[in-house]
Amino acid sequence: MANIVQEPISCSTAEEFLQAISPLGPNFKDQATEDGIWLFRGQWADWPLVPSLFRKDEFSREKLQSLTKLDVNLELHKIERDILIYFFEMADKRGLVLPDDSQELRNYLDEWKNDDVLVGERARLLQHARKTFSLRALAQHYGMPTRLLDWTRQSYIAAFFAAENRVKVVDESLKEQLVVWAFYYPRLRNKAYAYTSRLDIPVQLVTAPGASNINLKAQQGLFTWYDYNNETSSYHLTLTELLQRLAAKKSQENPLIREFMQQCKFQKFTLPQKDASKLLQRLEKLDITPSSVYPGYHSILADLQMQNLPK
């Protein structure tokens, strides 16, 4: 099977970068989308595609540890459950709208809260994922570490996130690359089988209601969830590693996974970090600015600051 991770495309200028990721540019204008969707993710450095819950860098570990008294190396299942339930309960206490809210969900969360013995069992993980996808997506969007990975439907918004985060970093000695990942997520043709067995696919597409989250709507945000086989390990597979391993298998017993692997692919685009300000200035001409990505009065000043970035 062909390598699903394509050769990276390195760009030397902001203009070249925007052309490369443009839906009308050479890399996407002839790409068929009727059988799938392109997802984009912007990063100010070339980090692996790992959800926040499983990241091992010092900042991520410290943030996770600040949210729990449990061992972040051994009790991730319980930690994820506890912070998600806390998010639900506090948002509900403050009268905030919660997705998929119902008596059924509330009863389920009460039962899950006491599920210390089987909380990490794989079958239970799939069950928890199915019932709490929308809640996880909302919590992830507001900074809760989860097993979800953020994406957007718009490549230019992904570029904004990559450049915006870079210009916030004071350390000018960094010589890395800005990155936009593009991930083609197939829609399977056998719709009846896909709907009845969709959790057999190792990577799930997760959305959250945009009506109650104006930032998520403006950013055209969505998420991926993927299954880990061994979460007690000190190392967790990245999204690309997981799919590459599955693709390397000559045959798949599950036809749904086989069809998925035959179609999905990744493409990485890079730009030197020194061009982050130039990239933001070009994106401004496309009306991709802080106030369009984070709608609200608080972002208007950020628009003005972006206009005054060094040329």
> Which amino acid is located at 275 in the chain?
D
Average pLDDT score over residue span 183-203:
67
Residues 6+ apart with CB under 8 A from 263: 35, 36, 184, 186
> Which amino acid is located at 294 in the chain?
Y
Residue 69's pLDDT is: 92
pTM, whole model, 2 decimals? 0.89
Handedness of CA 28, 31, 32, 35 (dihedral sign): negative
Q: Could you tell me the two tokens for 264?
A: 């999905």
Pair 158, 152: CB distance under 8 Å: yes
Distance CA 56, CA 246 (A): 24
Pair 267, 182: CB distance under 8 Å: yes
Reading across the β-sheet that carries 36-43, which strands appear in turn? 9-10, 265-272, 177-186, 36-43, 148-152, 221-226, 203-206
| % the chain with pLDDT above 90 | 43
b/e code 127-144 from CB counts within 10 Å (16+ = b): ebbebbbbbbbbbbbeeb
Instruction: Classify strands 265-272 and 9-10 as parallel, antiparallel or unpaired.
Output: parallel
Between the CA of residue 105 and those of 83, 99, 101, 225, what are the distances in Å?
A: 16, 10, 6, 20
Average pLDDT score over residue span 119-143:
82
32 burial class (0-12, 13-18, 19+ CB within 10 angstroms)? exposed
Residue 244 scores a pLDDT above 80? yes
Phi, psi of 266 (to 5 degrees): -120, 145
Q: How confident is the model at residue 301 (pLDDT cuts 50, 70, 90)?
A: confident
Average pLDDT score over residue span 286-308:
87
Pair 256, 201: CB distance under 8 Å: yes
Average pLDDT score over residue span 167-182:
75
Phi, psi of 299 (to 5 degrees): -95, -10
Q: Could you tell me the two tokens for 222?
A: 């969505």
Residue 235's pLDDT is: 65
Residue 149 scores a pLDDT above 50? yes
Pair 308, 296: CB distance under 8 Å: no
Look at residues 164, 193, 194, 147 and name the one whose alpha carbon lies nearest to residue 299: 164
Among 84-88, 111-115, 123-127, 240-244, the least confident range: 123-127
20 burial class (0-12, 13-18, 19+ CB within 10 angstroms)? buried
